């Protein structure tokens, strides 16, 4: 009861005070060091729905013309990074003599959108609970590192808001950590990162078909991320009939608060036991893929 009360109290502090995403993540990680499995039964569901609501809410401040332009700006980077990660992951997994399913799950999470991609392809390859847990643990660990280190690196290379938004959307796995890092960098970076990342999420669909082909077929249904449709609908409505400024600002403010809460809950679920369980091979594999796509995408962004 004490740890649950503390968990709720920390959520309240994050709501009331202007705490940024990296601090929320650190609070979550510190909490995880002392307490395990707080609200474990509900936390994943809360993260899932709060993140989706927050992303839809961000659409209240976006315009369809700018959104399409931003999505097209990131199209080449998106395609090249996905090909790089999926192709590189296939051969790297063989070099590491890594379990094929774990290799594909981590590659999928790195290429598209972290936990969502892993959840989408896991049934298609009939991955077991341990394989899924290992892959998610590695992705969440690297997400947490990215959220902390990407903003300082962006400032070091003097990346513009647009450049940083592109880079974080391409090189950070999970949508929650992408928007968390971009939120820290600035409002324009947040808009760019959200748009490009959600366009990237749609690649779950072709990835799922590729997965079925690679693993010789499956009767499992391919999941479509429907919340993106709601996000685009809100943007379209705002483009034709702009929302009142006061309403839009309140919704966007609430969405940013939800994102901070999501980041805290992600951190609170990353226990030392999960990291140890992963072992060095899957962790090294995931780290190399992530570093590779981060360096590749940053190089391309700086060169253009």
What's residue 8's pLDDT?
86
Q: How far is the C-alpha of 238 from the C-alpha of 231, rounded, in Å?
A: 11
Q: How far is the C-alpha of 195 from the C-alpha of 67, rounded, in Å?
A: 6
Q: If pLDDT is split at 50, 70 and 90, which confidence band does 207 have?
A: confident
pLDDT, averaged across the chain: 84
Q: How far is the C-alpha of 283 from the C-alpha of 298, rounded, in Å?
A: 22
What's residue 272's pLDDT?
66
- For residue 40, pLDDT over 80 is answered with no
- Percent of the chain predicted with pLDDT > 70: 92
- Give me the mean pLDDT over the 3-18 stretch: 87
- For residue 168, pLDDT over 80 is answered with yes
> Per residue in 81-111, pLDDT tens?
999 999 999 999 999 999 888 999 999 989 9
Q: If pLDDT is split at 50, 70 and 90, which confidence band does 295 have?
A: very high
Provide the residue ranges of all domains of the chain, joining segments of one domain with +: 54-303
What's residue 164's pLDDT?
96
Could you give the count of Cα atoms lying within 13 Å of 133 in the half-sphere of its Cβ? 12
- For residue 139, pLDDT over 80 is answered with yes
């Amino acid at each position: 009861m004490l740890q649950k009360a503390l968990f709720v109290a920390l959520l309240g502090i994050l709501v009331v005070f202007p705490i940024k995403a990296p601090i929320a993540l650190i609070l979550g990680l510190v909490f995880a060091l002392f307490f395990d499995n707080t609200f474990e039964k509900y936390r994943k569901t809360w993260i899932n729905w709060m993140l989706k609501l927050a992303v839809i809410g961000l659409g209240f401040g976006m315009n369809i013309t700018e959104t399409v332009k931003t999505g097209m700006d990131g199209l080449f980077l998106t395609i090249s990074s996905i090909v790089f990660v999926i192709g590189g992951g296939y051969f790297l997994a063989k070099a590491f003599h890594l379990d094929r399913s774990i290799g594909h799950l981590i590659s999928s999470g790195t290429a598209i959108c972290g936990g969502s991609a892993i959840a989408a392809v896991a049934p298609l390859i009939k991955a077991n609970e341990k394989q899924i847990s290992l892959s998610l643990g590695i992705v969440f660990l690297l997400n947490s590192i990215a959220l902390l280190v990407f903003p300082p690196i962006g400032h070091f290379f003097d990346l513009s808001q647009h450049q940083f938004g592109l880079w974080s959307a391409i090189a950070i796995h999970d949508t929650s950590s992408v928007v968390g890092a971009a939120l820290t960098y600035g409002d324009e970076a947040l808009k760019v990162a959200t748009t490009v990342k959600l366009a990237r999420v749609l690649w779950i669909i072709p990835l799922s078909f590729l997965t079925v082909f690679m693993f010789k077929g499956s009767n499992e249904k391919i999941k479509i991320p429907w919340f993106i449709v709601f996000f685009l609908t809100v943007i379209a409505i705002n483009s034709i009939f702009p929302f009142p400024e006061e309403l839009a600002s309140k919704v966007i403010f609430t969405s940013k608060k939800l994102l901070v809460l999501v980041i805290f809950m992600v951190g609170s679920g990353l226990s030392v036991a999960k990291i140890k369980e992963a072992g060095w091979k899957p962790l090294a594999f995931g780290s190399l893929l992530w570093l590779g796509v981060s360096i590749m995408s940053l190089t391309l962004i700086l060169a253009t």
